[in-house]
Structure 1
Amino acid sequence: MSSTETGVRELVAGALEAEADDIADRWVQLQLARTEQGAESNEGVLREEADGLVGAVTAGLRSDVPVDRLVATHHDLRRAVSEFSMRRARKGAAPTATSMAVLTLKEALLAAVQRRTHDGDELYAAALLINQLLDGAGALCFDTYVEGREEIIRRQSRQLLEVSTPVVRLWRQVLAVPLIGTLDTARTQVVMENLLQAIQEHEARVAIIDITGVPTVDTAVAQHLMHTVNAVRLMGADCVISGIRPPIAQTIAQLGIDLSTILTRATLADALSAAIELRDSPAQAALAER
C-alpha cells in the first residue's frame, strides 16, 4: 500500500471514527428524504443499520486489505453489507432502492471528510476512495439482494407445495394424499417426502393417492405416480390410486401407460374400502409383523 493511499485511508477512517454519529444520522435522514424506505421504515431501525455499516466500513479501512478488494474479502464488512441487503429483501424493498441506500452513504461520508480538510488533492483522492469502496458495497448489496429474494421465493414455493399436498389420516393405518392441480417433479418430491414421513409416524399400512383434482394425466404424471408408489412400497405399505375418472382412464389407455401393477379406484370412498381390506389382509398383516 503506497504512502498516498495510506494517508487517504487514514483521512477517511479518521472522519468515520470522529464523526460516526453524525455520519449515521445524516445517512438516515438522506434515506428518509430520498427513498421509499422513509415511508415504510422505522427511523430507529435505520439508525441501527447505519451504526452497523459505518462501523464495518471503519474496521475495513483500518485493515491492510486493499480498497479494491475490501468489500469482497474483509469478513466484517462483507457480512454487514450482506445482512443489510437481506433485511431489505425480507421487507420487500426494491433491489435498486437497496443498492442506492448504500450509495447514499457517500454524501454523508464526503461531507465529514470535507470538514477535516480543505486540500483539493486530498478531497479528490478521498472521493475516489469512497466511490470505489461504496460502489463495491452497492454491487455486493444488489447481488446479495437478488440471491436472497430467490432463496425466499424458493422457500415460499416449497411451503406452498407442502400446504397444497397435505397427508390426511383417514382410518387407522390408512393415509390419503388429495392432489389438486399439476403434478410435476418438484411437487412429486414434496408429496413423496411428506407421505413417507407420515407412513413412518402413523405406522400406516396403506396410502391412498387421490388424483380427482389433477386435470390431466400424461406420461410424465404417470411416471411421477409410479415413483411415489414404489417409494411407498419400499416403506412396507400398499398404495391405492383413486380419482380415475373416465376421461383420465381413456387418456391413460390411449397413451399406453401401464398402471396394471397399481390398485386403482374411481372414487376416494371406493379406495378407502379397498384400503381397509388391504390393511386387514393376511399378507399385509404378515408384512407388518416382520
Structure 2
Amino acid sequence: MKEAIIYNLKELVEDLAASDDLKREWEDFLVNLADAFSSEDKDERIKELFKNLLDFADADALIRGIELLNSRIGGFPFIEMLKFAVEALDGIRKEKETRLRELNDILAELATPIIRIWQDILLVPLIGTLDSHRAQNMAEKLLERTASTRAKIVIVDVTGVPMIDTIVGGFLIEMFNAIKLLGSDVILTGIKPEIAHTLVKLGVDFNMVIIKRDLESALKYAIGIAPDKSDRKHGRKRGDGDEE
C-alpha cells in the first residue's frame, strides 16, 4: 500500500489540488498516510491525519480524495477510510457545536450582566429581545448569584426590553417567586405598557414585586430599605445601637 501511494504520488497530488499550497498539503497528507499503513498505531494515526486534513480541505474534497485513492491504488481499504472520514467529520462537527455553545453562553452572560452595586443589592439590566432560552439562563444565574451573595434586594430593569411574551413572562414570574423564597425583595423597573399588559394578563401578584418607574427611583428605594432588611435579619430594630 505504501509503495503504491508513493509511486502514484505526483499524479494523485496533481488531480487533488490546483494551487501549489494545496498540493503541498495533499502531498504531506499522502506521504504520512502511506507511512501510517505500516505503523502499529495505524488507526489512531489515520484518524489524526484525516482530522488535520480538514484544516485545509472541506468534506467534499476529503471524499473525492478517498475515491481517487480507491480508483488508483489496488486493494485500497475504501470502506475503512470512509469510516475514518466520517469519524473525523463528526469530531469536527462536535467541536464546532461545543465552541458555539461556549460562545452563546458568553454572549448570554454579556447580554445579561448581574451587577453587585451595593453590599446587599444586585442589579440586572436587561437589554434587547428576551426569549425563553435567555430568560431561563438568566433565571438560573441570578438565583445562584442571589444565594451566593446573600443579596437582600434584586433590581430587574427591563427598560431596554421592547417586548415580553407570555412564555417569557411566565419565566420571570417563576424567577421572582424563587427570589422571594430566598428571602430577597424584587424591584421591577422600566416597565413599558406592553410589558405591563403581559404581566397583568398572566395574573402576576404585584405584592410579590416592588414596582418603580425608573432605575433612579429603584436605586433610591433599594438603598433606603437595604439597611432595614439587614437589621431585621440580625434581629435588630432600626436605631438599636445606632449613634445619635
- Deviations along 1:40-63, one digit per CA (max 9) or x if unpaired, are xxx68995x77776665545896x
1:281 is paired with a residue of what secondary structure? helix
2:61 corresponds in structure 1 to 100
Aligned length: 233
Alignment match of 1:213 (pick from 157, 160, 179): 160
The change in CA–CA distance for 1:234 and 1:216 in structure 2 (over 3 A counts) is same
In structure 1, what is the Cα distance between the partners aligned to 2:181 and 2:32? 53
Q: CA deviation at 1:234?
A: 4.0
In structure 2, what is the Cα distance between the partners aligned to 1:288 and 1:45? 72
1:259 equivalent to 2:205? Answer yes
In structure 2, what is the Cα distance between the partners aligned to 1:81 and 1:231? 51
1:148 corresponds in structure 2 to 95
In structure 2, what is the Cα distance between the partners aligned to 1:184 and 1:213? 14
Q: CA deviation at 1:163?
A: 1.2
Task: Note the 1:1-290 alignment, pairs <5 A.
Answer: 12=1, 15=2, 33-34=17-18, 38=22, 47=28, 58-59=38-39, 76=44, 80=48, 83-84=51-52, 88=55, 97-98=58-59, 100-101=61-62, 103-104=64-65, 107=68, 123=74, 126-127=75-76, 129=77, 131-200=78-147, 202-253=149-200, 255-260=201-206, 261-282=208-229, 284-287=230-233
- Deviations along 1:98-127, one digit per CA (max 9) or x if unpaired, are 35236525656876x5xxxxxxxxx3xx14
Partners of 1:207 and 1:239 within 8 A in 2: yes
Which amino acid is the alignment partner of residue 196 of structure 2?
Answer: A
RMSD: 4.1
Which amino acid is the alignment partner of residue 33 of structure 1?
Answer: A
Whose helix fraction is larger, Structure 1's or Structure 2's?
1
Partners of 2:128 and 2:160 within 8 A in 1: yes
In structure 1, what is the Cα distance between the partners aligned to 2:26 and 2:227? 62
Q: Greater shift after overlay, 160-169 or 234-243?
A: 234-243
1:258 is paired with a residue of what secondary structure? coil
1:208 is paired with a residue of what secondary structure? strand
Gaps of 5+ in 1: 1-11, 63-73, 114-122
Gaps of 5+ in 2: 236-244
Partners of 2:114 and 2:124 within 8 A in 1: yes
Partners of 1:167 and 1:176 within 8 A in 2: yes
In structure 2, what is the Cα distance between the partners aligned to 1:52 and 1:277? 72
Which amino acid is the alignment partner of residue 183 of structure 2?
Answer: G
> Which TM-score applies when normalising by structure 2?
0.71
In structure 1, what is the Cα distance between the partners aligned to 2:181 and 2:37? 56
> Which TM-score applies when normalising by structure 1?
0.62
Identity over aligned pairs, percent? 24
In structure 2, what is the Cα distance between the partners aligned to 1:50 and 1:278? 73
The change in CA–CA distance for 1:250 and 1:201 in structure 2 (over 3 A counts) is closer
- Deviations along 1:223-266, one digit per CA (max 9) or x if unpaired, are 1112222333344322211111234324433x253232211212
In structure 2, what is the Cα distance between the partners aligned to 1:149 and 1:27? 34
In structure 2, what is the Cα distance between the partners aligned to 1:246 and 1:208? 19
